[in-house]
Amino acid sequence: PLIHHLALLPGDGIGPEIMAVARQVLDHVSRRFDLRFKLEEHLVGGAALDALNEPLPEETLAACARSDGVLLACIGGPKWDNLPREKRPESGLLALRKGLEAFANLRPAKSIPQLIDASPLKPDVVRDADVMVVRELTGDVYFGEPRGLHYIFQGNGEREGLNTMIYTETEVFRVARVAFEVARKRQRKRLCSVDKANVLESSQLWRECVTKMATTYPDVELSHLYVDNAAMQLVRAPRQFDTIVTGNLFGDILSDEASMLVGSLGMLPSASLGDGTYPGVFEPVHGSAPDIAGQDKANPLAMVLSVAMLFRYQLNRSDVADTIDAAVNRVLDAGYRTADIMSGGMRLVGCREMGDAVERAMSE
Ligand code: NAD
Ligand code: IPM
Ligand code: MN
């Protein structure tokens, strides 16, 4: 059988706990399907800083680049919060995405009937909500130059923090193309571009490029919203959205907000994709959850669903992806809940027990 080389990056906080569950799922897949995996773990984030004093060691990036797919859990934590920018875990994650040219981040947020009560929003608001956020991932104010934290005038001690919000036409066109392709394959074929074109030149360019691209996709219905309104509409009436395309910063914020359509950040997976030169990075939307790390409380399902996205978007095995998605559905049907999605009458479990339940459900 075919052997897929996967790079596993457990990272920090709850990372190792949820990555263990991802391994369990992969082990099960290799037993059940005609697939074999070679799994190699590598250091990233705080774990890499502690061991090698850099958040993305060269060997990690190289191993990821030559792999058939990258599974990343999460990075960061208070231990590394006061280090200089280039020595922060977050810089490692950004360098990984940049190094693998993963410019399009697909973040699906689809309401799950079994979790309707886990959402703080009213059932009638979130029921059947199904949004796919396509977040640009290698540009924007995250990467713009110049940047820095410096003294403005010598002597008087006044400092400034400086970042540059910038998009080039090439950057907007390539992520817009991904978003239109995604929208085209969905049933409603609607794409909403979110920006701040009433204030920002980078957004003005964004809107012009997306609008231009729309002429190539006459079957997709394009609309535009300002990000402040979009943030409000997303919780007022989420069903109006189908696919959303937006920049790096707005997409970061809106996707965390969209997690409330499902009920927890611990449920949202993502796929970070480039043009195929390098493998994609499959990573939960959430962070390292330092508040619950090491307590076997983390919800591993965002990680598990990210493994499903690896099969769907990278390894071309939607059959495996469907099996994983169905298993998640079944453990929710059976009432298993980690604390973040707990509601009355359900069975509270930890990360490990949830992983075991997913594995069992995969053999059903
Ligand atoms: P966070 O996403 O780590 O946590 C936010 C809240 O959601 C916390 O209460 C946490 O307990 C909860 N949560 C998150 N994932 C969960 C899960 N799987 N199961 C149950 N509950 C979960 O965001 P934060 O607290 O703002 O950031 C913590 C650290 O993570 C920071 O260092 C930040 O930079 C980093 N971070 C990393 C990533 C990433 O690796 N992709 C993403 C976001 C934040
Ligand atoms: C995410 C995170 C990262 C981001 C941080 C940790 C750099 O919030 O993956 O959403 O802002 O992209
Ligand atoms: Mn984020």
Say what the pLDDT of residue 172 is.
99
Average pLDDT (180-188) is: 98
Please report the pLDDT score of residue 157 as a whole number: 81
Residues 240 and 342 in one domain: no
| Residue 39 domain-assigned (yes or no) | yes
Are 223 and 290 in a shared domain?
Answer: no
Same domain, 84 and 200: no
Q: How far is the centre of ligand 2, averaged over its atoms, from the C-alpha of 358 (Å)?
A: 27
User: Does some domain include residue 115?
Assistant: no
94 CB under 6 A from ligand 2?
A: yes
Whether ligand 2 lies within 6 angstroms of the CB of 11 is answered as no
Helices 58-65/89-99 angle, 10° precision: 30
| Model confidence band, residue 331 (pLDDT cutoffs 50, 70, 90) | very high
Closest residue CA from atom 8 of ligand 2 = 252
Q: What is the dihedral of CA 140, 144, 150, 152, to 10 degrees?
A: -90
Asked if residue 93 has its Cβ within 6 Å of ligand 2, the reply is yes
40 Rama class: left (phi>0) / alpha (psi -120 to 50) / beta: beta
| CB of 12 shorter than 6 A to ligand 2 | no
Confidence class of residue 364 from pLDDT cuts 50, 70 and 90?
Answer: confident
Average pLDDT for 340-346: 95
One domain, residues 181 and 221: yes
Q: Residue 69, SS3?
A: strand
CATH number assigned to the domain comprising residue 144: 3.40.718.10
- Which of 74, 93, 134, 285 for mutating ligand 2's site (highest number of atoms within 8 Å of CB)? 93
**Tens-place pLDDT, residues 139-162:** 999 999 999 998 887 677 889 999
Whether the link from the prior residue into 10 is cis, omega within 30° of 0, is: no
Pocket of ligand 1 (CB under 6 A): 14, 74-77, 90, 93, 265-266, 283, 286-292, 298-299, 302, 340
Question: 263 is written with which tokens?
Answer: 């009920």
Can you give the residue range of the structural domain that contains 141? 120-262
Across residues 85-106, what is the average pLDDT? 98
Whether residues 359 and 308 share a domain: the answer is yes
Atom of ligand 2 nearest to the CA of 248: 12
- The answer to whether the Cα torsion of 173, 269, 70, 314 is positive or negative is negative
| 76 in contact with ligand 2, CB cutoff 6 A | yes
Nearest Cα residue to atom 9 of ligand 2: 285
How far apart are alpha carbons 175 and 192 in whole angstroms? Answer: 13
Per-residue model confidence (pLDDT) at position 2: 83
Q: Tell me how many domains the chain contains.
A: 2
Of 127, 363, 105, nearest in space to 247 by CA:
105
Same domain, 278 and 245: no
Question: What's the whole-number mean pLDDT along residues 17-21?
Answer: 99
Same structural domain, 303 and 286? yes
Asked if residue 29 and residue 100 are part of one domain, the reply reads yes
Q: Which atom of ligand 1 is nearest to the CA of 289?
A: 3
User: Which of helix, strand or coil describes residue 271?
Assistant: strand
- In percent, the amount of the chain with pLDDT more than 70 equals 99
Instruction: Provide the mean pLDDT of the chain.
Output: 97
Q: Dihedrals φ, ψ of 250, to 5°?
A: -60, -40
Of the residues 245, 262, 279, which one is the last residue of a structural domain? Answer: 262
pTM: 0.98
Q: Both 95 and 150 in a single domain? A: no
- 177 shares a domain with 131: yes
Q: What integer pLDDT is reported at residue 104 of this predicted model?
A: 99
For residues 242 and 340, membership in a common domain is answered with no
Could you give the CA distance from residue 298 to residue 333 in angstroms, rounded to a whole number? 19
Predicted confidence (pLDDT) per residue in 187-201, tens digit:
999 999 999 999 999
Which 8-state DSSP code applies to residue 239? G
Rounded mean pLDDT, 209-236: 98
